[in-house]
Amino acid sequence: MKPQMITLHINGRTHFVALNPNLTLLVALRDLGYTDVKCGCEKGDCGACAVFLNGVAVNSCLVLAWQADEAEILTAAGLGTSEHPHPLQTAFSDAGAIQCGYCTPGMIISAKSLLDHKPHPTEAEIRDAISGNLCRCTGYAQIIQAVESAAEKMAAEGPAVFGGAGGEG
């Protein structure tokens, strides 16, 4: 196997990295320091590693980094900071939706993916949207409330205001 240079655009920054072909996007992201992308199972069973890949929410553990060459990647940390959090990040913090926090970045990616497509989701739609993100701490109820409250806030502020730092759908 020979490492090859690939280009990854992550949260608005461009990285040139030499990687072996068998490395996943998850490993590549974490090795570049994007440790907000969590590793929970490396099999697509838990959703902790979810990121936006060219605007589509995916398990980064199921994408080979080479497949993401030239792609726009957005991680949860790219959506906002403590000083300027994304409404979802604020809503999660205020609704008690965060306990250990390990599922949170992936959960927020799935929630944002939902709100990008359905700005006024029903509870059933929220449950379905996060059904690939396991949470062992919260029992999901407050997470659902957080998504509902973020949806309201984002709808009130107008569409496409909260895009985060990279390209997304």
Nearer to another protein, 44 or 152 (CB): 44
Q: Please name the amino acid found at residue 78.
A: G
31 vs 157, beta carbon nearer another protein: 31
Give CA 3 to chain center in angstroms.
27
State which of residues 29, 72, 110, 162 lies at the interface with another protein (CB under 8 A). 110
Q: Is 7 a residue that touches another protein (CB under 8 A)?
A: no
- Distance, in Å, from the CA atom of 18 to the CA atom of 88, rounded to the nearest integer, reads 34
Residue 101 in contact with another protein, rule: CB under 8 A:
yes
DSSP 118: -
In sign, the C-alpha dihedral spanning 128, 129, 130, 133 is positive
| Separation of alpha carbons 17 and 138, rounded Å | 37
100 touches another protein (CB under 8 A): yes
The yes or no reply on residue 112 touching another protein (CB under 8 A) is no
66 forms part of the interface with another protein (CB under 8 A): yes
According to the binding rule CB under 8 A, does residue 162 interact with another protein?
no
Of residues 37 and 151, the one with the C-beta less far from another protein: 37
- The residues in 13-52 that bind another protein, with binding defined as CB under 8 A, are 21-22, 24, 30, 35-48, 50
Residues 84, 135: Cα–Cα separation, whole Å = 25
